[in-house]
Amino acid sequence: MTAAPRLTSLHRGRLTFAVHDAGPADGPPVVLLHGFPEDSSSWSRVVPLLHDAGLRTVALDQRGYSPGARPGARAAYRLEHLVADVGALLGATGPAHVVGHDWGGNVAWALSAWAPERVRSLTVLSTPHPRALARSLVRSDQALRSLYVGFFQVPAVPEAVLRRWLAPALERTGLPAPDAARYAARLGDPAALRGILGWYRALPLARTRVGDVEVPTTYVWGARDVALGRVAAEATERHVRAPYRFVALDANHWLPETEPDEVAAAVVRQVTATAPGSAGEGASGG
């Protein structure tokens, strides 16, 4: 088998995204999508474990996070544009196993719903299906957990607060201090900070809905996640019409950084279950 060429960047019009392509070049590709306020380095503890299992990892620094892909318009961060970025990456890798955490999970849900032929399997960390999350806003304490989303809509003030307090705030939610410091340091660049807040500020401009997913899926959730509660997590199964596995961990929100062994095991199990010749697996609890 001829090994695929390594990817170092992705070009979409005037935007250039950083891509980190590693592991066995002829292994099944696994696309890794980070969340807020992370970047592709959030997967640094997970990727060696995936490589050991024979998987190729392709981690994208997404829109607003890649220095060459920070459009200024709020509408440029609508979900359909974020999904199209990943779709362009899949044009280079071919159909892939997709793994997303936090906002990257939201992109992964939408991609799997809108273009299932491009997703061999789906593993989502922390983020419930968007429809399960929306329903939980009126059926649980999720609205309180999500108050920060409203705060991020305010002009200028979030930028000032995040520049000063992001690192300690992240540490209080369980993110290791070195990771918190690294993510916060990037926000010294005003364009970076404006870009990552653009994901939240584009929410009122949404034009499309995310339907049910028909891709084999694993959903991994931390029971001590301060941002995303159990009601939406448990309701996510209703929106997957394919073999589904729910894994509930005694963990916080930052699963790639704090639970790399569990994350890698979930990804490898999902990839293996959907490999050619596999019988797959049915729904089960975690």
Q: Which sequence positions are flagged as catalytic?
A: 102, 200, 253
CA–CA distance, 62 with 144 (Å, rounded to integer): 28
CA–CA distance, 231 with 268 (Å, rounded to integer): 27
CA–CA distance, 78 with 74 (Å, rounded to integer): 8
CA–CA distance, 61 with 70 (Å, rounded to integer): 11
CA–CA distance, 1 with 68 (Å, rounded to integer): 33
Query: CA of 114: how far to CAs of 80, 107, 160, 164, 182, in Å?
Result: 10, 10, 36, 38, 33
Taking CA 94 as the corner, what is the angle to CA 254 and CA 270, rounded to the nearest 5 degrees?
45
Nearest CA to 56 out of 106, 95, 91 is that of 95
Residue 13 tokens, joined: 């019009």
Query: CA of 85: how far to CAs of 90, 94, 179, in Å?
Result: 9, 14, 25
Q: What are phi and psi of 26, to 5 degrees?
A: -100, 10
Sheet order of strands, 244-249 included: 9-12, 15-22, 56-60, 29-33, 96-101, 119-125, 217-222, 244-249
